[in-house]
Amino acid sequence: DGPKVGALGLDATVVGRTLETLPGGRQVSRFEANGEQYDVYVQLAAEDRASPETLSTIYLRSPRGEMIQLSNIVTVTESVAPKDLRRFNQLRAVTLSANLAPGTSLGDVLNFLENTAREVLPSNVQTDLAGQSREFRSASQSLAVVFVLALGFIYLVLSAQFESFRDPLIILITVPLSMTGAPAALYWTGGSLNVFSQIGLVTLVGLITKHGILIVEFANQQQEAGMQRLEAVIEAAVLRLRPILMTTGAMVLGAIPLALAEGAGAESRQQIGWVIVGGMSLGTLLTLFVVPTVYTLIGRKHRAGEAHGAMHPAHQPAE
Distance (Å, rounded) from C-alpha 198 to C-alpha 176? 14
Q: How big is the chain, counted in residues?
A: 319
Q: Which residue has the higher pLDDT, 307 or 262?
A: 262
Alpha-carbon distance values, 304 to 8, 218, 230, 239 (Å): 115, 14, 15, 20
Residue 32: beta bridge partners?
37
Q: Do residues 179 and 208 touch, judged by C-beta distance below 8 A?
A: no
Distance (Å, rounded) from C-alpha 178 to C-alpha 275? 9
pLDDT digits (tens, 9 = 90+) for 245-274: 998 899 889 888 888 888 777 777 888 888
Mean pLDDT of all residues in 8-32: 80
Strands 91-92 and 36-42: unpaired
Phi, psi of 60 (to 5 degrees): -115, 145
Q: Do residues 139 and 195 touch, judged by C-beta distance below 8 A?
A: yes
Distance (Å, rounded) from C-alpha 299 to C-alpha 174? 15
Q: State what percent of residues in the chain have pLDDT above 70.
A: 91
Instruction: Give which of 145, 144, 148, 135 is closest to 107, Cα–Cα.
Output: 135
Mean pLDDT of all residues in 34-56: 81
Residue 317: predicted pLDDT: 41
pLDDT digits (tens, 9 = 90+) for 120-153: 888 888 888 887 787 777 766 677 787 888 888 8
- Give this prediction's pTM: 0.54
Sequence-distant contacts of 263-269: CB under 8 A, at least 24 apart? 267/196, 268/196, 269/196
Mean pLDDT of all residues in 65-85: 78
- Mean pLDDT (the chain, rounded): 80
State the CB neighbour count (10 A cutoff) for residue 74.
17
